[in-house]
Amino acid sequence: MEKDPQVGQESRGVRWLVKRALLAFFPESDALPGIASMDVDGFVDRYRREASGLMWLGIVAGAVVFTVTPLFTVYRPVPSFWLSADTLDRHADRLAGHRLYLVRQLVFLLKMAGGLCWGQHATTRERLALEPYPADPPRWRTT
Amino acid sequence: MSHTAYSDGDVELDADFVVVGSGAGGSAAALTLARGGASVVLVEAGAWRDPDHYPVSVYGAMRDLMDDWGSTITRGRALWPVVQASAVGGTTVINSAISVTTPGDIFAQWRDDYGVGDAEFERNVLEHETRIESELSVNEVPPPSLGRSNELAILADERLGYGGHVMRRYAKDCEGTGQCLQGCKKGRKQSTNLAWIPEVMERGGHVVSCAPVKRVRFEGGRAVGVTGRFKHPSTRRRGGTFELRAKRGVVIAASATHSPALLQRSGVKLPALGKYFRAHPGTGVMGLYDEVVDMNIGATQGWASTKFRESPGLKLETLSIPPELVASRVGGGGKKLMARLAEYRHMAMWVHAVRAESTGTVSNGMFDKPVVKYTLDRADMERLRRGIHFVASMHFSAGAKRVVPFIHGFAYDIGPDELDTLLDAPLEPRSYVAILSHLFGGCAMGRDRSSGVCDATGKVFDCEGLYVADASVIPTNLGVNPQHTIMGLASHFAERWL
């Protein structure tokens, strides 16, 4: 997927925050590919462009919460992008099961968007013994 | 045959009847009217996609087929998604096409508790359901298309005596591609965009798609048409306006959430409008097996049991979901999440839906988006918890080594020895990720204007020429999949409008 050339400086910052959060939730493992190998920038641009405003707002809010809450999950008074890899991993896991419902819901939206990107990728599907998806046809009846 | 899709120009059309919504109710009503010789304009908010236009990915399905990306959620104690489609064919495009005849006790309940219908009403609706079964090729999922997840559920059912059955669905020779939720690209599922709407057009009907209706127009207290503006299915840009005039009647069949909202913003004022909203809230339970299950291979849904429909009020069934959706359902993040997802091939997802007695409300919100207020009461939460226990029992009976109940504040997974701990799981709605898939009420049938929005012919009280013909008229929770009931009711109503 191409990066959206119309994305401005502010949007690039938001995209970066969202991407950082998604990378933390879906790292590579022995069995499965991580989302980092899947053109997350392109996916986030597309999501911003195509998803309903509410869905986009939800994952941006989720990314912001993810960034500013390490103090409450791993007891580090720093934004999530300054955490070490192991601590970041612990932060992602603890936030997903946070006791505050609204936080869990925002993380759910974030994981859903990440899951859409990760789960539809050909490499993921191959590892799960599923046929790759062909491209979605952008068509409908016009007459 | 005529069809008007998105247009930058303004469109005006005249017909005997204008039907708003092309799902199970709207298309059944439109077809009955067209067969009866009436001219019909069928207007639909979503686009018309044929099987070769259907998306393959879940992302594509959310974008192209779901109502506003599936972003409608209940406002209440918990925020639970309300699943509906927005496409020509409505939710029949994305559901599993499950056909269940309306249970007899439902008619008795409508008659006794709501003053709706009589013996002839029941007989007529059931006659339509029988006809529809034949027209839409209702049959059991063929054994080669079941897939391992459904086979395991059948095995568990045999061992536990849950009185289940292989599902009967509106599908011709299902190939078990596991893509019901994205629309059947093989064209096997008999969704109404394939089965009925072409016949409406052959009989002179006109379909207007990409056309969300803003309001119903009235003249002298009589509904005379609808107005709105086209919405581009890709860019969501607003196009020209449309005005669809009806000589004999306007039929609202826009769903249990959109129909009451549309009537409210059209100025209809009835005490029961938007009230008595009901649903089948359901949640999934995942079994983890030693063997490879590959739940995404085979029919998305192939087995069900309604044995517990009356007591404790549950419906059990299989429901396979693709990795995209498993990724957000499975708890945890980072390495732990990936380790859990690595078990995907060994997972089987089965669900239960609660025949809930709780009621909610629907109102018209900002940007014409319906606002659904709904919270399960304690008795229904106990049913929900009981249902998880039922489904977990099935998994263990079928040989699952662990079961994932998806309950916040509870163990991620449990073994057979821990099964009964589920009976002490929290009753807090926020601890569960449930989905509302079958919706009822909002424009419920009733004895009179104080207790209902429409009568037993779907006619809206106090409004000449205005009818409702979708799940919103159903005053009770059915406890079974409602598509067949919706189609039978809409056909019965439409015969009476001719």
SS (H, E, C) chain B: CEEECCCCCCEEEEEEEEEECCCHHHHHHHHHHHHCCCCEEEECCCECCCHHHCCCCHHHHHHHCEHHHHCCEEECCCCCEECCECECCHHHHCCCCECCCCCHHHHHHHHHHHCCCCHHHHHHHHHHHHHHHHHCCEEECCHHHCHHHHHHHHHHHHHHCCCCEECEEEECCCCCCCCHHHCCCCCCECCHHHHCHHHHHHCCCEEECCCCEEEEEEECCEEEEEEEEEECCCCCCEEEEEEEEEEEEEEECCCCCHHHHHHHHCCCCCCCCCCCEEEEEEEEEEEECCCCCCCCCCCCCCEEECCCCCCCCEEEEECCCCHHHHHHHCCCCCHHHHHHHCCHHHEEEEEEEECCCCCEEEEECHHHCEEEECCCCHHHHHHHHHHHHHHHHHHHHHCCCEEECCECCCCCCECHHHHHHHHHCCCCHHHECCEEEEEECCCCECCCCCCCCECCCCEECCCECEEECCHHHCCCCCCCCCHHHHHHHHHHHHHHHC
CB < 8 Å to A129, chain B? 292, 294, 345
Res B19 pLDDT > 90: yes
d(CA A74, CA B181): 39
CB contact under 8 A, B333 and A95: yes
* Chain B residues closer than 8 Å to A112 by CB: 325, 327-328
Contact yes or no for A101 and B342 at CB 8 A: no
Element (H, E) at A54: helix A53-68
Confidence band (pLDDT; 50, 70, 90) for B437?
confident
- Using a CB-CB distance cutoff of 8 angstroms, which residues of chain B are in contact with residue A118? 323-324, 327
- pLDDT at site A10: 62
Residues of B in contact with A39 (CB under 8 A): none
Tokens 């096409």 locate to B97
Q: Dihedral angle at the C-alpha atoms of B238, B243, B244, B248, nearest 10 degrees?
A: 140
**What are the residues whose beta carbons fall under 8 Å from the beta carbon of A40, sequence distance 6 or more?**
A19, A22, A23, A117
pLDDT above 60: residue B6: yes
A121 class by beta-carbon count within 10 Å (0-12 exposed, 13-18 middle, 19+ buried): buried
Q: Does A134 contact B at CB distance below 8 Å?
A: yes
| A109 closest CA partner among A120, A94, A96, A93 | A96
Cβ of A138: how many Cβ atoms within 10 Å? 12
Length of chain B measured in residues: 498
Query: Residue A5's pLDDT is what?
Result: 56
Please indicate whether, in this complex, the C-beta atoms of B59 and A29 are within 8 angstroms of each other. Answer: no
Per-residue pLDDT averaged across B140-168, rounded? 97
CB contact under 8 Å between B333 and A96, yes or no, is yes
Q: What's the CA gap between B300 and B319, in Å, rounded?
A: 6
Task: Return the residue matching tokens 């898939």.
Answer: B437
User: Would an 8 Å CB–CB cutoff place A42 in contact with chain B?
Assistant: no
Compute the mean pLDDT over every residue in chain A, rounded to the nearest whole number.
93
**Percent of chain B having pLDDT more than 90?**
96
Q: What is the CA radius of gyration of chain A?
A: 16
Choose among A24, A34, A108: nearest Cβ to B328: A108
Average pLDDT over residues A32-57: 95
pLDDT at position B255: 98
Which residues make beta-bridge pairs with B170? B138
Verify whether the Cβ–Cβ distance B53 to A54 is below 8 Å: no
**Residue A32, pLDDT above cutoff 70:** yes
Question: Per DSSP, what are the bridge partners of residue B287?
Answer: B348, B403
Model confidence pLDDT, tens digit, residues B316-332:
999 999 999 999 999 99
- Across B397-408, average pLDDT: 98
Q: Is the pLDDT of residue B300 over 80?
A: yes
- Distance from C-alpha of B135 to C-alpha of B172, rounded to nearest angstrom: 11
For A93, the closest of B5, B52, B332 (CB atoms) is: B332
CB spacing of A29 vs B430 below 8 angstroms: no
Whether the predicted pLDDT of B388 surpasses 90: yes
pLDDT of A4 over the 70 cut: no
- The 10s digit of each residue's pLDDT in B83-103 is 999 999 999 999 999 999 999
Surface-to-core class of residue A3, CB atoms within 10 Å of its CB (0-12 exposed, 13-18 middle, 19+ buried):
middle
Give the containing element (helix H, strand E) for A96: helix A85-96
pLDDT the model gives residue A138 = 77
> Chain B contact for A90, CB < 8 A?
yes
| DSSP bridge partners of B219 | B222
Q: Residue type for B338, please?
A: M
What pLDDT does B99 receive? 96
Contact A32 B209 (CB under 8 A): no
Question: Tokens representing B32?
Answer: 């009955």
Q: Please determine, for residue B491, whether its predicted confidence score (pLDDT) is greater than 60.
A: yes
**Cβ of A126 under 8 Å from any chain B Cβ?**
no
Q: Is beta strand B74-75 parallel, antiparallel or unpaired with respect to B370-373?
A: parallel
| Integer Cα distance of B358 and B203 in angstroms | 42
Across the range B482-488, mean pLDDT stands at 98
Which member of B58, B326, B327 has the closest CB to residue A114?
B327
B363 DSSP β-pair partners: B371
For residue A7, the model assigns a pLDDT of 58
Q: What sign results for the dihedral spanned by CA atoms B206, B210, B212, B218?
A: negative
pLDDT tens track for A53-112: 889 999 999 999 999 999 999 999 999 999 999 999 999 999 999 999 999 999 999 999
With CA atoms as reference, report the closest residue to B68 among B229, B230, B233, B207.
B233
Helix (H, G, I), strand (E, B) or coil at A83: coil
Is the pLDDT assigned to residue B448 strictly greater than 60? Answer: yes
User: Residues of B28-41 as b/e, b for ≥16 C-beta within 10 angstroms?
Assistant: bbbbbbbeeebbbb
In this complex, the residue of A27, A29, A120 whose CB is nearest that of residue B59 is A120
Contact B243, B12 (CB under 8 A): yes
User: ω before B312 within 30° of 0 (cis)?
Assistant: yes
Please say if the pLDDT value at position B367 is more than 60.
yes
The whole-number average pLDDT for the span B449-468 is 97
Among the listed residues B170, B28, B154, B29, the one whose alpha carbon sits nearest the alpha carbon of residue B99? B170
Of the partner residues B60, B69, B234, the one whose CB lies closest to the CB of residue A52:
B69
User: What's the pLDDT band for A3 if we cut at 50, 70, 90?
Assistant: low
Nearest to A52 among B52, B57, B68 (CB): B68
pLDDT score, position B289: 98
pLDDT class for B121, splitting at 50, 70, 90? very high
Predicted local distance difference test score (pLDDT) of residue A6: 57
Q: Distance (Å, rounded) from C-alpha B317 to C-alpha B303?
A: 6
Interface contact A141-B62, CB threshold 8 A: no
Q: Say if residue A8's pLDDT is above 80.
A: no
> Among B419, B387, B390, which Cα is nearest to B403's?
B419
Quick one: tokens of B367?
A: 């940007």
**pLDDT score at B178:** 87
Question: pTM (2 decimals)?
Answer: 0.96
What single DSSP character describes residue A33?
A: -
- Enumerate the β-bridge partners of residue B246: B15
Summarize the confidence of residues A104-132 as an average pLDDT: 96
Query: What distance separates the 2 farthest-apart alpha carbons in chain B?
Result: 69
pLDDT tops 90 at residue B145: yes
Give yes or no for A92 touching B (CB within 8 A).
yes
Query: How many inter-chain contacts (A to B, CB under 8 Å) are there?
Result: 150
Of B1-5, B251-255, B351-355, B446-450, which gets the smallest average pLDDT?
B1-5
Q: Are A62 and A110 in contact (CB under 8 A)?
A: yes
Residue B55 CA: distances (Å) to CA of A138, B50, B82, B313, B323: 8, 10, 21, 35, 16
B74 pLDDT more than 90: yes
Average pLDDT rounded to a whole number, residues B397-404: 98
Beta-carbon neighbour count of residue B288 at 10 Å?
A: 17
Output the average pLDDT for chain B. Answer: 96
pLDDT for B172-227, tens place per residue? 889 888 889 999 999 999 999 999 999 999 999 999 999 999 999 999 999 999 99
A32/B341 CB distance under 8 A:
yes
**If you average pLDDT over residues B14-27, what whole number do you get?**
98
Residue A9 in this model has a pLDDT that exceeds 80: no
